[in-house]
Amino acid sequence: MEGLEQWKDQLEQLKSQLEPWKNQLEKCLHEAIEYLNQIPPVQLYAAIAVLLISTLLLLSIRLFKRAKSNTVILSGLSGSGKTVLFYQLRDGSVHQGTITSMEPNESTIVLNSDSNKKRKSKPVHIVDVPGHSRLRPKLDEFLPRAAGIVFVVDSLEFLPNCHLASEYLYDILTKASVVKKKIPVLICCNKNDKVTAHTKEFIRKQMEKEMYDPDDKLRASRSAISAADISNDFTLGVPEEPFTFSQCRNKVTVAESSGLTGEVGQVEQFIWECVKP
C-alpha cells in the first residue's frame, strides 16, 4: 500500500508540474486560432495550396531520384568486341576469338571495381546490342531506360571501319531520346592491348573529322531510318565550325579497353558514374 501511495504522490507532482505547460499550450492554441480567423479566406486557401504543392514537388523529386535508371548499353559495329567486353564486365571471363550476337545479351551485375574501391555498389543492368545493321533497331528498345551508352570501337581495325562507325555513332548522338535526356556516351577504343592498335586520341580526332557534316550528308544517308524518325532527331555541332564532341548536348568521353586482357577499369568507372546512387 505504501508503494501505491508513493506512485499516487508522484503522479500528482507530475500533474502539477505539467499544469503550467498545459495552460501555456491552450493559450498559444487560442492565439493561433484568433490569428487564423483574422486572415482573409483567400489568403488562407492560397497558403494551404502553396504548402500542398511544395510537399508534392518534394515527394516527386525524391521519387524521381529513386527511379534513376541502372541500364547501360553496349553498342557499336559487329566485330568491335562488344560481347567479349560484356562477358568481361559480367564475370571477368575471357572469350577468345570473335563472338557475333544475333540477339541482345542482358545481365544484371555488380561491378568488380566496386568491391576493390570499397565504394557503395549498385546493381547494373548491362545490355549488349547486336551491331549488325539489320539488328540495330533493337537499340531503340533500350534507349528510353538507358543511363549511359558505351560505344565500342575496334581500335585495331579502325581505319577501314571509320566511316561506318562514325555514321552509327552520329545516328546515336542525334536521337531525340539521347539528346533530351542528355545520356552520357563513352567511346570505348577496344583491343588496345595490340601493338598496332590506334590510340584513343587518334580515333577521337578521326571520328570528329568524319562526323563534320556541313552539308548534312550523314543525316540524309541514313536510309535505314524513316523520315518520321529523322524529323524527330537533332543535328550535331555548330554551324560553320569544325565538329568536336564537346559541342554535343550530352557528355561524350573517350577511353581505352581490352576485353581479352581484362583492362576494363575505365569502362567500369564510366558505368559507375552513370548509375551511382
Task: Report DSSP letters for 21-66, one per residue.
Answer: HHHHHHHHHHHHHHHHHHS-HHHHHHHHHHHHHHHHHHHHHHHHHH
pLDDT tens for 128-156 read 998 887 777 889 999 999 999 999 999 99
- The answer, yes or no, to whether residue 6 has pLDDT greater than 50, is yes
Identity of the highest mean pLDDT range in 61-70, 113-122, 123-132, 205-214: 123-132
- Give the span between the Cα atoms of 194 and 12, in whole angstroms: 88
- Give the span between the Cα atoms of 16 and 14, in whole angstroms: 5
pTM, entire model: 0.71
Residue range(s) occupied by CATH 3.40.50.300 in the chain: 71-275
Distances (CA, A) of 185 to 89, 200, 270: 17, 14, 9
- Give the span between the Cα atoms of 227 and 136, in whole angstroms: 17
| Mean of the per-residue pLDDT values of the chain | 80
- Give the span between the Cα atoms of 175 and 169, in whole angstroms: 10
**Banded pLDDT at 7 (limits 50, 70, 90):** low
- The answer, yes or no, to whether residue 215 has pLDDT greater than 70, is no
Task: Decide the pairing of beta strands 185-190 and 146-154.
Answer: parallel
The HSE-up count of residue 1 (CA atoms within 13 Å, CB side) is 0
* Average pLDDT of the segment spanning 212-226: 53
Class of domain 71-275: alpha beta
